[in-house]
Structure 1
Amino acid sequence: MAYFLGIDIGTSSTKSLLLRENGDVIAIGQQAYDFETPHSGWAEQDPETWWDAAKMTIQQILHSSGIDSSEIKGIGFSGQMHGPVFLDQAGRSIRPAIIWADQRSAEECREIYDRVGQTGLYNTVCNPVDSGFMAATLLWIKRHEPETYKQIATVLLPKDYVKLRLTGEMVTDPSDAGGTSLYDVRKLEWSSTLLEQLNLSQDIFPTVCQSSEIIGAVSADAALETGLPAGTPVVNGGNDQTMGALASGAIQEGPVMLVIGTGGTLFTTIDSVVVDRALRMHTYPHCVPGKWHLLGAILAGGLTLKWFRNILNTSEPYSYDEMTRKAAAIPPGSEGAIFLPYLAGERTPHMDSFARGVMFGLTVRHTQGHLVRAIMEGVVFAMRDCLELFKELRVCPDKILAGGGGALSPLWRQIQADILGLPLVTVDTPEKSATGAAMIAAIGTRCFHSFEEACRTTVTFGEELQPISDHILRYEEYYQFYRTLYPTLKQGFLGVSHLEK
């Protein structure tokens, strides 16, 4: 029996997963960690933390599964996006990685838009630039740490650093390269035009190979550190969104993958490059060759409920089950309480780091249940904003594939179906990004002969949920009003940010 190892390098933990060739998940290992915040708004991680966590989780699954490591026929990767790892000529990390959550490079983002313009980004890389993205971070390093910048020989993405430690190869894939805002997703190459405009050397960027390509093998040194056999094939992999999409069966046009975790994402596969001229969302290459995907992202999804639970003044911990039980007794629309979930600023569609959370329309009749339901609805209204952008681009999904913590709540699932007006199916595949990484390993080593075969064998779905027609009509009224609030409050958000200083 053949087995395949998927390794997902996340922001809060690394997960390794063992997949049997029949699609069964055999073992999962996890090692948690945090990121450092040396200054307010900064977010850094030591790349060695990822490598140590990968080694530990590999040992966990070898121990728990009881298999012989020689039965592992391929290894694939998934990882957090955007943030660069800085390597010297010898391939050593020269400072902590600056990850996607970092906000220090707002000035460099403005500089890029001043130099290149929105139209220039549309024509070169097809994507916006934000703090924490490699493009802006490199300019920050160049300006504020010039001695560090002079030492940089190569920049990698997080998963690619762990692949380097495993194989000795410096390679990335199109999906992760797209998230740097330096990669031309139309031509599938580093954008020489933008790099020249930003005065960045193309020599520091790695080779880009397809996600399903074998890029190397476990080295003798890595074999000693991990317990994996030297020579085991290593398949390139992709960013956590596209690996999660693979494990959700989102490899064809039609469905939209909605994941509410800490934040929230809306992902749909497209067969040709479709780009929003206003750069309110992202267009990235898919892990499936010849396909791309649209990605809308909000910064506070499940985070909003966690925040609200933490501020409640109760003698006993307030469980999510109790919160949703109270919310379920409240009618759709929360009797006029409307929540803007911008607790951490917002990306799609506003791209506004100054945006703030708002609970609008409160009266004395509103209870905890009203506020919980309004928060759940507000998160999905924000996801509806992403869906409306898809429709503007003539991409019209026909059903929702739901994942993340937001798919665990029956109430929240129904709210998603009702506000988006689409049938909803839960994806039961566990640890989707790590599963996708294992699937891509099986595809790359030809255990599965197509992406479709991999999905048929591995992906599992729950029961389909239909939107409720009366709720669709009610939520449509509320959504149209919700859309007026951000433009009305935008200047206020900016004003209060100055007061905070």
Structure 2
Amino acid sequence: MRYILGIDIGTSGTKSVLLDENGRVIAVGQQAYDFDTPQPGWAEQDPEVWWNAVKATIRQILSTSRVDPAAIRGIGFSGQMHGPVFLDEAGRSLRPAIIWADQRSGQECRDIYKIMGVEGLHRAVGNPVDSGFMAATMLWIKRHEPETYRKIHTLLLPKDYVKFRLTGRRVTDPSDAGGTSLYDVRQLAWSQEMLAALELSPAMFAEVRPSGEMIGTVTPEAAAATGLQAGTPVVNGGNDQTMGALASGAITPGDVLLMIGTGGTLFTTVDAVVVDPGLRMHTYPHCVPGKWHLLGAILAGGLPLKWFRNLVSPDTPLSYNEMTREAAATPPGADGVIFLPYLAGERTPHMNRAARGVFFGLSHTHTRGHLTRAIMEGVMFAMRDCVELFKELGVRPTRIIAGGGGASSQLWRQIQADILQLPVITAQTPEKSATGAAMIAGVGAGVFASFEDACQRMVTFGEELAPIAANAPRYEEMYQVYRDLYPSLQPHFARMAA
């Protein structure tokens, strides 16, 4: 039997998954950690934390499974996006990595927009810039830590650092490079225009190789540290979004992967580059060669439900099942309550960190169940904003593949179907990002004949929920009110932020 190993470097922990060639999960290793906040709004992680977690989770897997390390035919990687790791010439980390959640570079973002403009960013990289993205972070480092900047030999992304520790190779892939806002997603190369405009040295940017390519093998030193066999092939992998899509079977146009975790994302595959002229949405290379993906992201998906639960039941928190039962007892549209889920600002389509959450339409007759349902519906209205943008760009979704915590609630899946007016199906694949990393390892190592073969052998689906036609008119009416609220409130968001 042949085995494949997938490793996902997340923000709150590392997960490693060992699969056999038939898609059966043999063992899972997990190690949790947190990120550091040296100052309010900052978010950093020591790359050594990731490496220690990878060593620990691999040893967990080998101990639990008792699989001979020589039977592992490939190792693949998934990882959190955007944040740079700073290496000197000897490969030492110069300072903690500044990860995607970091907010220190707001001024640098504004400066980049002044330098490039929306049109320039559209031309040079095809993507917006936000705090925590490598483009803004590097400008901050250059201004505020010039000594660190002078010592940088190579910039890597989180999963790439772990690959470096395993293989000695300083390599990234197009999907992760695309998330830096320094990579030309059309030409599949670092943007010389962008690097020149920000006066960043091209020499510090890592070599970019295809996602499914074998980029090295486990070194003897890494083998001794992890328990793996020296010489085991290591495959490049990709960002956590594209790895999750691969594990969900979302690699063909028309399928939309909808993930609700703390935030929420909508991922859809396209066969040619599609870039939003207004930069309201992200366009990144896919892990599948010759394809790209559009990514809509909202900053509060499951977060508002957790916030509301803790607010109304601080001492003995309600179960989500109880909250769902109360929401199910209220009609579609929550009797006129609309929720804007901007508790942490918003990304797609507004790109506005100053936006804030709003309950609209409250009266003394509304109950906790009404507000719970309004939250679920409001998150889906935000997701529909992304779907409408897909359509505006000429992309036609045909079904939703639901994932994340939101997929566990049948009520929430039905609300997805009704508001988006698309059938909703669930992918049964566990630990999606790590499993996707294992699948791409199988493609790169020859265990699978193709990406399509990997999906056919690995991905199974649950029941499909169709939209309830009777709910469509009410949700359409509510959605139009929802859409009108943001432009009405936008000036007030800015005043409150000031």
Query: Please, what TM-score do these two structures have when normalized by structure 2?
Result: 0.99
* Equivalent runs, 1:419-438 vs 2, <5 Å: 419-438=419-438
Residue number in structure 1 paired with 2:85: 85
Distance of 1:229 and 1:66 partners within structure 2: 14
Pairing of 1:106-121 with structure 2 (within 5 A): 106-121=106-121
Long gaps (5+) in structure 1: none
Distance in 2 (CA, whole Å) between partners of 1:359 and 1:96 is: 39
- CA shift, 1:474, in A, is 1.1
- Residues 15-46 of structure 1: CA deviation (Å, up to 9, x unaligned): 00001001111111110000011111110000
Q: 2:157 is aligned with what amino acid?
A: L
DSSP-derived class of the 1:100 partner: coil
Equivalent residue letter for 1:4: I
Aligned to 1:470: 470
Please give the alpha-carbon distance, in whole angstroms, between the structure 2 residues aligned to 1:168 and 1:416: 45
In percent, how many aligned pairs have the same letter? Answer: 71
Distance 1:495 1:63 in 2: 57
Partner amino acid, structure 1, of 2:283: T
Distance in structure 2 (CA, Å) of the matches to 1:188 and 1:316: 52
Q: 2-side partners of 1:60 and 1:472: how far apart?
A: 49
Q: Deviation per CA, 1:176-213, whole angstroms, max 9, x where unpaired?
A: 00000000000000001110011001100000000000
Counterpart check, 1:398 vs 2:398: yes
Alignment partner, residue 65 of structure 2: 65
Which residue matches 2:302? Answer: 302
Distance 1:93 1:241 in 2: 26
Once the two structures are superposed, the pairs formed by residues 66-215 of structure 1 within 5 Å of their partners are 66-215=66-215
Change (3 A) 1:192 1:323: same
- Corresponding position of 1:278: 278
Q: Which amino acid aligns with 2:350?
A: H
Secondary structure of the structure 2 residue equivalent to 1:272: coil
Q: Which residue of structure 1 lines up, in the alignment, with residue 353 of structure 2?
A: 353
1:327 corresponds to: 327
Distance in 2 (alpha carbons) for counterparts of 1:493 and 1:315? 32
SS at match of 2:186: coil
Deviations 1:69-120 (A, max 9, x none): 1111100000000000011111110100000001110100010010011000
For the residue of structure 2 that corresponds to 1:49, the secondary structure is: helix
Residue number in structure 2 paired with 1:383: 383
What SS class does the counterpart of residue 222 from structure 1 fall into?
helix
SS in 1 for 2:77: strand
Distance (Å, rounded) in 1 between the aligned partners of 2:263 and 2:59: 30
2: CA distance, partners of 1:311 / 1:27? 38
> Aligned with 2:440: secondary structure?
helix
Shift of 1:314: 5.5
Name the SS of the counterpart of 1:108 in structure 2: helix
CA RMSD of the aligned region, Å?
0.7
In 1, the alpha carbon distance for the partners of 2:64 and 2:392 equals: 49
Deviation of 1:284 (Å): 0.3
Task: State how far apart, in whole Å, the 1-side matches of 2:142 and 2:261 are.
Answer: 34
Shift of 1:64: 1.3
Matches of 2:190 and 2:196, distance apart in 1: 11
SS at structure 2 position matched to 1:77: strand
Cα distance, 1:65 vs. partner?
A: 1.1
What is the CA distance between 1:66 and its match in structure 2? 1.7
Amino acid at match of 2:212: S
Distance 1:302 1:416 in 2: 14
Secondary structure of the 1:406 match is helix
Aligned to 2:363: 363
Cα distance per residue 1:140-185 (max 9 Å; x no partner) = 0001111111111111000000000011000000000000000000
SS of 1:15's partner is: strand
CA distance, structure 2, for counterparts of residue 396 and residue 254 of structure 1: 6
Shift of 1:316: 2.4
TM-score, with structure 1 as normaliser: 0.99
Superposed CA offset, 1:324-364 (max 9, x none) = 11000000010111100101110000000100011111100
Query: Could you list the runs of 4 or more consecutive aligned residues of structure 1 that deviate by over 4 angstroms after TM superposition?
Result: none
Provide the rounded CA distance (Å) in 2 between the counterparts of 1:291 and 1:432.
20
Check if 1:243 corresponds to 2:240.
no
Other structure's SS at 1:394 match: coil
Quick one: distance in 1 between partners of 2:320 and 2:380? 17
CA distance in 1, matches of 2:310, 2:422: 32
Partner of 2:44: 44
The 3-state SS of whatever aligns with 1:228 is coil
**Match in the other structure for 1:457:** 457
Deviation at 1:63, TM superposition (A): 1.3
Give the counterpart letter for 2:266 in structure 1.
Answer: L
Residue identity opposite 1:275 in structure 2: V
The residue identity in structure 2 corresponding to 1:169 is R
* CA distances 1:240-281 after superposition (whole Å, capped 9, x unpaired): 000001001111111111001110000000000001000000
List gaps (5 residues or longer) in structure 2. none
CA distance in 2, matches of 1:161, 1:234: 13
Shift of 1:496: 1.2
Q: Report the number of matched residues.
A: 498
Cα shift readout 1:446-488 (whole Å, capped 9, x = no counterpart): 1101111000000110011101001122101100110011100
Report the 3-state secondary structure (helix = DSSP H, G, I; strand = E; otherwise coil) of the residue aligned with 1:101.
coil
Structure 1 letter corresponding to 2:242: T
